[in-house]
Every structure is written in structure tokens, then in C-alpha cells.
Amino acid sequence: MKHSLSLQIGPVAFRIGSAWPKPLAALADLYAGYPEPDGICDFTVRLEPETAWRRWFRPSVAIHGDYVLPDAAPMSLAHGLLAAEMGMNLQMALGQKRYLLLHAASVEKDGRALILTGESGAGKSTLAAMLGERGWRLMGDEFALLDLEDGRLRAFPRAVSLKNGAIKVMERTVPADRFGPLLEGTPKGAIRHLRPRADALAAMAEPARPALILFPRFGEAAEARAVGQAEVFMRLTQASTNYVSLGGAGFDALTGLVAACPAAAIDYPDAATAIATVDALWEQVG
Amino acid sequence: MTGAALLVRALRDPDGLGDCDWNALIASARAEQLIGSLAFRLEGRALPLKVEAILDCARRDALQARTQALWEAEMTRRALAPLGIPVVLLKGNAFHAAGLSASVGRSVGDLDILVPRESLEAVEAALLGAGWERLKEADGYDDLYYRRWMHELPPLIHRTRDRMIDVHHNILPTTARPKPDAAALIADSVALESGLRILSPTDIIVHAAAHLFADGDLAGGLRNLWDIDRLLRDFARDPGFWERLGERARLHQLRRAVGLALRLAERLYLTPVDRRLAGRRRPSDRLFAARLLARNGWGQPVRPLLRLAFYVRSHWLRMPPLMLARHLWVKAGR
């Protein structure tokens, strides 16, 4: 491909090719300070025009690569950075078979991990980003990687994808040089990416033992309730993109996780309440 | 050398690979759905750690896919058992069920089965009653097109397992020029322990050749040709195999497709083949080889004109000109 870039994110290396220079320049800026892969990559992502003439005329970016969604809509070139991010997510969701993939954010303290999972819009990215600025190591906001062999969690600290209201919240406390460009009018509204702290990147190769699973829900009166193992198991099968395709290995990893970790559903009206609730629950498992 | 050519070399001669463009090899193998086959082919060789990790995953993934494919075949067997008709597994499912070399690491998509034409309605009803659903709108153009002209029912998909089944009554569309003898395919099929059946070895080759060269635009052709290579190496150990293959190819009116398959397998994978049956090399063989290798080290399809030509050819093979015109007219109107 005309332009290319390699990225190492936790244990996963990506090779990203693009027909245009712009998306990769934005990606290189956002991922400044990440380690270089050693040359051999787990996945290839391609950003290319749907048809040859779409390279120049009303350019639109089709997200292709090793694994492809057949009917994914192409994106505007202005959102090329987002296309690259989605391309990497897609490879993970469809092609990653070394880890049980949970659609979850995770943070670490003292070698132990807190997993935050819930539906899109539940606020897990924002909550993880905030915890990442308050003494926790951010392991990732999109995918938690559960090692099938040893049951430990591996970090996948991509840039955090902040949406709409969460952008302002984080801009207040985080220096401007850790943000990507503001992308307006995407299918999910306004998006701005946030690079994790340098210490989180330096520690990206260190796994953590899962210690607590939380199901946060933003916009409700403050409440926390314990969640039983059967419900946790069912919710996590739904939060996993590769549980079914891993077969028995996926079942063993997931039941191991559920048996080892207490879990709670937390509702929160605002960030301060969420953080106080997380701290209190973390005290209990400590 | 990048892309598909590198992939072919790695499959053909796994020991002679040396240090290569691993990213290109892996991307091509994934694009051609040969990553599992490649992973088993390179097993046990000294590879860079990262490559070994990627291929180890591919091997585990292939074993899981195999389990799922066998299970899907078993569920189908149970759904159709009350009908008391022969149910013949085709392609990947047959290779896995019979444990042929072609199944090692092979990916499997849909479940393809062959049943007697007169049982089609009963088979469809039994599947619909056992949890499969129609994918195409009933009585729409596509649905009617399948029922009238194709060698298979419109695809069905299972409600909970999300797997597709293609129920064939022959191995080429009714409108194609060669007319394979469907009754002979079933009469000569071989029973497996489960009660499911597979085609006879010669008919497996004839079907693979028909699928690759007498139908379709050669998309995914490297994998189908790899099947043919593995199958021929298994089957050719039987004395008299090549003579029987020649007879069956003639019976099914697929001499040319079988000859072409033999020549291309020899050309790309160095498959030992019967010279007489393979026939003389033709100038067009080069075009077929070029089409099969039209992929670069990023996994991108290349040579768009050549691809287009084979796409046009596939429609030409599939139906007579007037019918083709009408078909394209309806499709263009969508």
C-alpha cells in the first residue's frame, strides 16, 4: 500500500496500510510514544477507496483487512482516524483467538485488575479514563483480553474513545497534547481520542490478575447491588466477541474468571459518585 | 515474491521457505482462507516466535471449526434421518467427516449436501421443521431463480446456530452446458459410519474440478486447488485410480474441467498427475494461473481486468446468453 504504519498495542501488533497519507499521520500523532512492533504483525488493516475513482472524488474510506464485515458502510476521509481505529477493533473482534475478548474497560492497581463492562453508552470508557488519571493504570477502554492459559488479564491500551459529553469532562483535567483531533458528525456523534498516560504505556506488557467485575450504568440514582455468578456469566458471554468461536477453551476461561471475581452492578448520577462507589467496592475486595 | 505466489510456495515447499515477508504470507493466507492449512503445513518448523504464535492460534481455531462442522453435519443427519434418503456431504464437510488429508486445517463455511432431486421438497420441509429458516424472501426473484435454474435450494440458515446449509440435487447449475449424472453421483457414494455419505473418490475430484473451473469466477480458487492437490495425493495411491477418474469425468461431461484442474494443480502445487488425463498445456492455462495468483502482500485483490474477465466468464458458463441478459437486467434494476 502507498502509506503504512505499524502499531504495538499490548500484546497485539497491527500493520495499517492506507491509500491516503492523512489518516496515518493522525494515527502516528495520537500513538506517539507507543513501542515499535518487531516487524511481524498479528493483523493487517487496510484503508482504501471502495472503488478506484473514490480515491480522489468525494473520497470515502472502506475499512478492509484480514477480517472484514461484508456490509460495513465506508466513512468520510475526514474521519480517517476513526476508520483506522475501527479497522483495528474489527480485526480483534473477528480474528483474535489467543485471548477471550470481553467488550470491557479495565484498570489495574497493585497487580490486580478491575473490569468494567456494560452496554455502549453505560459510561465504561469515561469511567476507566477518569480512574486512569486517579492512581489506576488504564489497561484499555474497549477490549479486556483474558489469557486462555493463565486466566490473567492483558492490557490493550488503545487511545480511549471519548464521546460527546465525556470529551469536555476529560479536557478539564488532561493536558491537550494527549488528545487527538475532535471528530464531529461521526455515526456516534462527536468523538475525541485520548492517549493513556505514559506510565500506563510503559507498563502495557504487564498482565494483571482480575479481582473485581463491575457493571456501571450512568444516569441513574446511586446504587450498588451484588450480581450472582450465573448472571455475570451470561452477561459476559454477551459482552464477548469470540466466546462461541473459542469453544471449550472460552468456557473454561470464562467460568474461571466468574468463579474468582466478585461482581456488582453500579448505577451513578455523576462522576464523583461513580469514583467513590468504585473506591468503596475495591476496599471490600482488598 | 509477495502475496499469493509466496503463499503457494510456502504450501508447496514448507522446508524451503527460509526468512520471508511474513506479513505478506499471513495476510495472503487469511485472504485466501488458507491460514489453517498453512499453519499445519509449517507446524514443527523453526519459525520466528510471533509467526509461531499466530499459526498456533490458527491451528486451534481450525480444530474448533472442524468440531463445529462435524456437529452441523450431525444435526443435519438427525433432522433428515426420518426421510430414509441418502444424504451425501460435499466439499469441506465431506473431507472432515472422512478424515481426508484435505481436511487438515481446512476452513468450512456452509454445509453442502447432495440429495436425490425428487426428495428436495421433503428435505426442505424437514429442515424448516427442525429450526432452519429461509434466507431469501420466499417467491422473490432470487428464490424462484434458485428453484428453477440452480442445482441447489435457496440457502437456509439455522435459527440458533447461525449456520447455513446448501441443499444440492446436482453439482452444476441446471443451465450449465455439462450435465453431470446426479443419479450416478449418489449411486456410487460411500457410506460413513454415521450413516452420512460422501462421493466416491473419483467423483470428489470431478466435483472439485467442476466447482473450480466450470462454475464461479475462481474466487477462493487457491484453496479449492489446494483441496485438489491433497485429494489427488490421497487417492492416486489406489491402483487404477486415474483410469476410473477419466471414465467418471467423461460420464459427467467434465473432461475439460478435470484436465484443467490437473494441469493447474501440477503447475502451482507440483501435484503428481496422470499426463494423458491432464492433457496438453494450453496458452489459456497461464491466464488461469495468473487469476489464481492475483493477490498482493497486503491481501489486496490485484489485476482488476483479469478478475472482471473471469467474472464475466462465470456467468457465461452458468447460463445461455438470452437468459444471462434477462438475469443481469433484473439484478441491475435493484
Interface pTM, i.e. ipTM: 0.93
Mean pLDDT of all residues in B114-123:
97
- Distance (Å) from the C-alpha of residue A38 to the closest C-alpha of chain B? 9
Q: Taking Cα atoms as reference points, which of B204, B180, B313 lies closest to residue B254?
A: B180
Q: Provide CB contacts within 8 A for A67, sequence distance 6+.
A: A43, A90, A91, A94, A95, B30
Q: What are phi and psi of A108, to 5 degrees?
A: -130, 145
Tell me the three cell numbers of residue B16: 524451503
Query: How far is A223 from chain B, CA to nearest CA, in Å?
Result: 36
Q: Alpha-carbon distance A52 to B331, whole Å? A: 23
Strands (E), B140-209: 156-158, 164-168, 190-191, 197-198
Which pLDDT tens digit goes with each residue over B146-194? 777 788 899 999 999 999 999 999 999 988 899 999 999 999 999 999 9
Q: Cα B183 vs. chain centroid, distance in angstroms?
A: 21
Specify the pLDDT at position B169: 96
Pairing of strands A3-9, A12-18: antiparallel
Neighbours of A170 (CB within 10 A): 20
Average pLDDT over chain A, rounded to whole? Answer: 94
- Which has the higher per-residue pLDDT, A187 or B239? B239
Provide the residue type at A97 as one letter.
K
The answer, for A40 touching chain B at a CB cutoff of 8 Å, is yes
Does A142 reach chain B within 8 Å, measured CB to CB? no
In this structure, the dihedral spanned by the alpha carbons of residues A157, A158, A162 and A167, taken in order and rounded to 10 degrees, is 80
**Chain B partners within 8 Å of A52 (Cβ):** 304
- pLDDT 10s digits, A183-222: 999 988 999 999 999 999 999 999 999 999 999 998 889 9
Q: What are the phi and psi torsion angles at B184 (to 5°)?
A: -70, -35
CA distance B71 to chain A (A): 12
Contacts of A172 (CB under 8 A, 6+ apart): none
Q: Please report residues of B whose CB lies closer than 8 A to that of A42.
A: 50, 54
HSE on the CB side for B320, CA within 13 Å?
A: 6
CB half-sphere exposure, B188, CA atoms < 13 A: 16
Q: HSE (CB half, 13 Å, CA atoms) of A86? A: 21
What is the per-residue pLDDT for B67?
95
| Cα-based torsion angle of the residue sequence B68, B38, B221, A63 in order, rounded to the nearest 10 degrees | 80
- pLDDT tops 80 at residue A121: no
With CB atoms and an 8 Å threshold, state whether A245 touches B61: yes
- In this structure, are residues B221 and B209 in contact, taking their beta carbons and an 8 Å threshold? no
Q: Please choose, from the candidates B167, B247, B151, the residue with its C-alpha nearest in 3D space to the C-alpha of residue B200.
A: B247
CA distance B70 to B61: 14
Which CATH architecture best describes the domain A99-157+196-285?
Answer: Alpha-Beta Complex (3.90)
- With DSSP H G I counted as helix, E B as strand and the rest as coil, what are the percentages for chain B, rounded to 5? 60, 5, 35
- Closest by Cβ to A46, choosing from B51, B61, B300: B300
Cell of A228: 450472582
B328, exposed or middle or buried, with CB in 10 Å at 0-12, 13-18, 19+?
Answer: exposed
Site from B17, B22, B23, B57 to mutate, A interface, most A CB atoms within 10 angstroms: B23
Q: What pLDDT shows up at residue B201?
A: 98
Q: What is the pLDDT of residues B270-321, one digit of tens each?
A: 999 999 999 999 999 999 999 999 999 999 999 999 999 898 888 888 777 7
**Confidence (pLDDT) at B229:** 98
Q: Residue A123 pLDDT more than 90?
A: no
Please give the C-alpha separations between residue B140 and each of B120, B127, B134, B136, B169, in angstroms, as whole numbers. 19, 20, 12, 7, 21
C-alpha cell at B87: 444424504
Angle of the B255-269 helix axis to the B201-213 helix axis, nearest 10: 90
**Distances in whole angstroms, Cα of residue A53 to Cα of each of A48, A56, B92, B308:** 11, 6, 38, 17
Nearest-CA residue of chain B relative to A68? B31
What beta strand segments (E) does chain B contain? 88-89, 111-114, 132-134, 156-158, 164-168, 190-191, 197-198
Chosen CATH of B4-332 out of 3.40.50.720, 3.30.460.40, 3.40.50.10210, 3.30.1490.270: 3.30.460.40
Whether A48 contacts chain B with CB within 8 A = yes
pLDDT of residue B326: 77
Nearest by CB to residue A17, choosing from B22, B54, B298, is B298
Q: What is the DSSP letter of A155?
A: P
Residue of A nearest to B54 (CA): A42
Q: What percent of chain B has pLDDT over 70?
A: 99
B271 to chain A, closest Cα gap in Å: 28
Nearest 5 degrees, angle CA B83-CA B85-CA B86? 145
User: Is residue B334 pLDDT above 80, yes or no?
Assistant: no
d(CA A220, CA A217) in angstroms, rounded, equals: 7
